[in-house]
Amino acid sequence: MFGYGLVYYNDSVMSSALDSYVSPIGADVPQFDFSVTLKNYDHYFNVDNPNSAINYLETGQEMDIMYGYQTPGSDTIEWIQGNHLWCSEWESDDNTATIRCQDIFRNMDGEYVKGLYSAAGKSYYALAEEILKDAGISEYYIDPRLKKLYSNNPIPRVKYKEALQIIANACRCVLTQSRDGKVQIKSNFMPSASIATNGEETYSNAANVLTDTPKVEYATLAGNYTPTDGTMFFLPRNGKAALTTGYVSKEISGANGTFTKNPVVTITMEAIRAYYGLKLVFGTALPAAFTIRTYKGGEPVNEYPIEKDEINTTSIILRDFDDFDVMKIEFTKTAEPYNRIVLNYFSLSDVVDFTMNRRDMTSSPKAIKQELIKEVIVPCYTYQENNREENLVYEDIDVVAGEVETYYIQDPSYGYKVKLDEVEGKATVVAWSNYFVTIKFNVTGSFKLEVQGYRYKIVEKYATVSLNARGKTVKWKNPLISNTTMANELAAWLADYYTAGIEYEYDTRGNPELDATDIVYQENEFHDGMRVNIYRHTVNFKQAFSGRVTARRIGG
């Protein structure tokens, strides 16, 4: 769909291809490319035809891609937004017309030169907003966690899109574009969490719910709860758990499965962010109903009642959880009367309830073992003032009084003074950053221009994470890292990415619902429940769907 006027369906579309690439660690700027080939048998799309529909197209015109699939046993077509892109070029011959589109980042090639050192520090959120505003982008999403992260260092002289990439990488985020065309900076790791309850048994250990480790259960007199197959244990005489348990509520349900006082589990996250899925693993006793409520800064955000048909021993609750930092799960009923709530595992993540099975693959997956990484080094950059003044700009000029000119500086500098023929006062600095100085000339004539100032001295310290006894050393340079805490966190995050070192490539039946950055389960005969991060995804259409996936294993 182009604008409001042109819509093309299957009868006109001969083929299309949507290719998306997003680096999980922000190594490159994201890239989305789409091409569609339309029938042109009546010369309706000929470039030279004055009545051609192609004359309605312009470079930079917005384009929507929708994928539809007829649901089984029905005439209903389920539509999903494929992407929102911008036209770049088109061509035609007597039989076909091909139109190509690209992502929003391809239009962000302007150079950002307003980087400025801040002794007090500036939040990465504010830095990203400044770049987006300067680039003319008004609709975007920035992870609220970036409001609490600070950098002293100036953003270097780079393109707008590269500046956003640097910010995302420094904060362990992924830079991408949403399906409706909005720039997004989203955290690409799981923030730490703490858990609290309104009452638990003496042998309960709610803190264990946050770790994916095997849990045991102790036999009780709860209704229809204790099996005799040897899988449960007798509680020690002192009533204290000697084995690893999860959360076991203090409250017991009544004859109708309801509670006098509903058990509540509260999870507090270290940072505000959005999530798209919730995983709960229960013990032998299952709840029959519970309500999930989320809060941001104490204010309610979402509320989702969960009924029995969604509840299993392993329950994956797919909901859109908007930005929050506290989640409360209130259990209101048990499946069996006279039972407690037994919760063994809780997980919030971007994992979709999707498994790439062998039958979904139309080619044998090619496994690629990456080069072994010995260690990851992340420098931390500290800016120090310099006591040596230098000539930063030196050239002959012809100027007119009142003329304004901007000069760009390669290295971060400060303390500018302007001289014409070695005399101050004939020109004035009206604007500046660490990478440019704008001068207004007060006289007319030919002069020798000198812009004097001080270059910052930059001191490096290193955060290092060792992975193997041999292999390649990765030195990851991010100029915005100005404190050792963020350097250590970035190094650990990168080390986690490089730990697996195995990638997979294969053809698929085509899944328009998948995105680059999705984490899915991938069937593997040697690793049960293997998770992979899709970072390149192609959806082809030629009267039927097909696709291709490139993914990286998560974990060692």
Laid out side by side, the sheet with 413-420 consists of 390-399, 445-455, 413-420, 423-424
State the pLDDT at residue 547.
96
Average pLDDT, the chain: 92
CB of 342 within 8 A of CB of 282? yes
- Does the pLDDT at position 278 exceed 80? yes
CA atoms within 13 A on the CB side of 322: 10
Q: Which CATH architecture has domain 193-348?
A: Sandwich (2.60)
Query: What's the average model confidence in pLDDT over 148-175?
Result: 96
For tokens 């997003």, the residue is: 22
Q: How far apart are CA 427 and CA 124, in angstroms?
A: 35
- % pLDDT > 70, the chain: 98
d(CA 106, CA 160): 10
Kindly report, residue by residue over 344-381, the tens digit of the pLDDT: 999 886 556 688 999 999 999 999 999 999 999 999 99
pLDDT in tens, 391-409: 999 999 999 999 999 999 9
Least confident of 51-60, 285-294, 306-315, 322-331: 51-60
Residue 556 has pLDDT above 70, yes or no: no
Q: What is the pLDDT of residues 66-83, one digit of tens each?
A: 999 888 888 899 999 999
Answer for the pair 251, 340: CB distance below 8 angstroms, yes or no. Answer: yes
What pLDDT digit, counting tens, does each position of 481-513 carry?
999 999 999 999 999 999 988 999 999 999 999
Q: Would you say residue 439 has pLDDT above 70?
A: yes
Digit-coded pLDDT (tens) for 78-123: 999 999 999 998 888 888 889 999 999 999 999 999 999 999 999 9
Average pLDDT over residues 438-449: 95
The whole-model pTM stands at 0.86
Give domain limits for the chain: 13-107, 111-187, 193-348, 386-455
Q: What architecture is domain 111-187?
A: 3-Layer(bab) Sandwich (3.55)
**Taking 60 as the threshold, does the pLDDT of residue 4 lie above it?**
no
Cα 171 to Cα 330: distance, rounded to the nearest angstrom? 33
Q: Give the Cα separation of 462 and 210 in Å (integer).
A: 32
Q: Which residue has the higher pLDDT, 10 or 342?
A: 342
- Mean of pLDDT values over 25-31: 95
> To 10 degrees, the CA torsion angle through 275, 281, 282, 284?
160
Q: How confident is the model at residue 318, as a pLDDT?
A: 85
Query: Same fold for the domain at 111-187 and the one at 193-348?
Result: no
The better pLDDT of the pair 70, 251 is held by 251
301 or 275, which is more confident? 301
Strand segments (E) across 243-363: 247-248, 264-275, 278-282, 287-296, 299-306, 314-317, 321-334, 342-348, 355-356
Residues 385 and 180: their CA atoms lie apart, in Å, by 45
pLDDT on residue 194: 94
First-to-final CA distance of the chain = 44
- The Cα 499–Cα 554 span in angstroms is 8
Percent of the chain past pLDDT 90, that is, above it, reads 73
